[in-house]
């Protein structure tokens, strides 16, 4: 049977982004079939090319973040560079950009200009503080969004300063909101007959939207959630514990029936049958007592025995995985969460698999992140530029 088209096949996405939020959003589009053209400065391109661990001078992160994309170098300070971009946008479906607000307007590429050029265009704008408000002109990275949006305040232990998560989670969450917004805008365009529109994502708001019950708890009770380490405040028991062999396990036994099974499994029938612990509110009142019981049990056994007991009792739990753990884990392997690819010199390497899993039209990786400007000549030829014209544009510094 013929391979079905990917769900975003036929869409053209232009990326004017660097580093994380914008490029991650367009990466998702590229994985599911959209034609993604990444516009980069001829002077070095996306800084992500040089971030974290480098292989032969290029970031391994780059090969993942830019997979399935075409790299076109354009100097947007050059009038002919801007003209080429306009030609691309005239036939595009989505523009993803994460410049500071006002940068595109200064280049003559604001929403009013682009909407007039292509009324069907959806423009995803990712920035620190959004396109409006008194802070819109301030620079804002993901770390700033995580701080202002409330995540950093509650992350860490109560007797220490706030800490960050180990990844750029603020940028990635903003990227997901950007993709969600773009797909909503496309549905409005295609199903409701509407025109293109702006999807305005602020990094701090992307985080703020994930903060669960923080707003009503403060508004109704004046309650401010504080740092609580590894436990989930108000949801008991759910925490990380250390085994006899010094390994760590996350146990989430906060469901009523699960808690009862858990206590029975560790020989505490008295707690399993205690009516005051039958629901979460009662367990949370005795949180310290329960965590002491669980700590002592986990600490008395090696991790494998802890995990076996928890699995036999149907208690949700996981050891804390490192990358090394993931590489040999049967679940990761069964779900094809590692894709085999090749670096430019032919060296094989693994990259993360595709999320989410679509049963009929799954995403895939066709090629890894391209060399800077790798597709410039081909894309310009597609716009009608001759070899001589491309050579002239290169000489003038437009591409």
- In the chain, CATH 3.40.50.10540 covers 12-210+336-396
Interacting residues of 6 by C-beta distance below 8 A, sequence separation 6+ = 32, 33, 361, 362, 363, 364
Q: What pLDDT score does 1 carry?
A: 64
Under the banding of pLDDT at 50, 70 and 90, the label for residue 233 is confident
Decide if pLDDT at 340 tops 80: yes
- Please name the CATH architecture into which domain 238-319 falls: 2-Layer Sandwich (3.30)
Residue 200 near residue 128, CB atoms below 8 Å = no
Q: Which two tokens stand for residue 41?
A: 């400065």
Q: How many CB atoms are closer than 10 A to CB 128?
A: 24
Of 39, 95, 138, 101, which is closest to residue 372 (Cα–Cα)?
A: 39
SS3 labels along 345-389: CCCEEEEECCCCCCCCCCCCCCCCCCCCCCCHHHHHHHCCCCHHH
Please give the Cα distance from 332 to 317 (Å, whole number). Answer: 16
Both structure tokens of 154: 């509650």
- Lowest-confidence range among 77-86, 231-240, 252-261? 231-240
3-state secondary structure of 38: strand
Q: What is the dihedral of CA 350, 353, 359, 361, to 10 degrees?
A: -90
Range list for CATH 3.30.1540.10 in the chain: 238-319
Average pLDDT, the chain: 97
238-291: pLDDT as tens digits: 999 999 999 999 999 999 999 999 999 999 999 999 999 999 999 999 999 999
Q: Output DSSP code: residue 85.
A: H
Between residues 49 and 2, which one has the greater pLDDT?
A: 49
Across 170-274, the runs of DSSP E, i.e. the strands, are 198-202, 238-242, 248-252
Distance CA 237, CA 259 (A): 8
Cα 389 from Cα 164, distance rounded (Å): 49
The encoded tokens of residue 344 equal 């430019």
- State mean pLDDT over 148-170: 95
Does this model's pTM top 0.85? My answer is yes
Distance CA 186, CA 193 (A): 10
Distance CA 201, CA 155 (A): 23
Instruction: For the chain, give the number of residues.
Output: 399
Q: How many C-alpha atoms does 12 have within 13 Å on its Cβ side? A: 12
Token reading at 95: 């523009």
DSSP 287-356: HHHHHHHHHHHHHTS-HHHHHHHHHHHT--EEE---HHHHHT-HHHHHTT-EEEEE-TTS-EEEEE--SS
Q: Which helix (H) or strand (E) holds 393?
A: helix 387-396
Domain 12-210+336-396: top CATH class? alpha beta
The rounded distance, in Å, linking the Cα atoms of 32 and 355 is 10
Of 93, 112, 159, 171, the catalytic one is 171
For 389, the token pair is 């014209």
pLDDT score of 356: 97
171 an active-site residue? yes
């Amino acid at each position: 049977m013929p391979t079905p088209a990917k769900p975003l096949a036929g869409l053209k996405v232009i990326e004017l982004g660097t580093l994380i939020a914008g490029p991650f959003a367009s990466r998702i589009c590229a994985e599911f079939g959209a034609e993604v053209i990444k516009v980069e400065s001829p002077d070095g391109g996306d800084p992500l090319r040089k971030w974290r661990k480098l292989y032969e001078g290029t970031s391994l992160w780059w090969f993942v973040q830019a997979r399935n994309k075409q790299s076109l170098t354009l100097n947007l300070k050059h009038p002919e560079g801007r003209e080429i971009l306009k030609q691309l946008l005239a036939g595009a479906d989505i523009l993803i950009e994460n410049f500071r607000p006002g940068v595109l307007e200064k280049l003559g590429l604001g929403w009013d200009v682009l909407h007039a050029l292509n009324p069907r265009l959806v423009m995803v704008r990712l920035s620190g503080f959004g396109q409006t408000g008194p802070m819109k002109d301030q620079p804002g990275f993901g770390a700033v969004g995580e701080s202002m949006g409330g995540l950093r305040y509650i992350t860490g232990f109560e007797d220490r300063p706030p800490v960050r998560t180990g990844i750029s989670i603020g940028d990635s969450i903003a990227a997901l909101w950007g993709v969600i917004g773009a797909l909503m805008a496309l549905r409005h365009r295609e199903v409701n007959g509407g025109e293109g529109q702006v999807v305005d994502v602020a990094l701090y708001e992307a985080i703020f939207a994930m903060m669960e019950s923080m707003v009503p708890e403060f508004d109704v009770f004046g309650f401010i959630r504080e740092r609580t380490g590894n436990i989930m405040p108000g949801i008991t028991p759910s925490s990380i514990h250390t085994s006899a062999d010094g390994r760590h396990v996350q146990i989430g036994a906060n469901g009523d029936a699960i808690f009862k099974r858990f206590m029975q499994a560790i020989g505490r029938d008295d707690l399993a049958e205690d009516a005051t612990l039958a629901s979460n509110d009662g367990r949370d009142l005795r949180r310290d007592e329960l965590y002491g019981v669980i700590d002592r049990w986990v600490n008395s056994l090696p991790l494998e025995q802890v995990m076996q007991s928890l699995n036999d009792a149907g208690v949700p739990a996981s050891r804390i995985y490192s990358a090394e753990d993931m590489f040999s884990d049967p679940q990761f392997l069964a779900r094809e969460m590692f894709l085999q690819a090749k670096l430019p010199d032919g060296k094989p390497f693994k990259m993360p698999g595709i999320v989410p899993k679509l049963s009929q039209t799954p995403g895939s990786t066709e090629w890894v992140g391209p060399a800077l400007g790798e597709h410039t000549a081909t894309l310009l030829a597609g716009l009608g530029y001759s070899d001589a014209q491309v050579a002239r544009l290169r000489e003038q510094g437009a591409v």
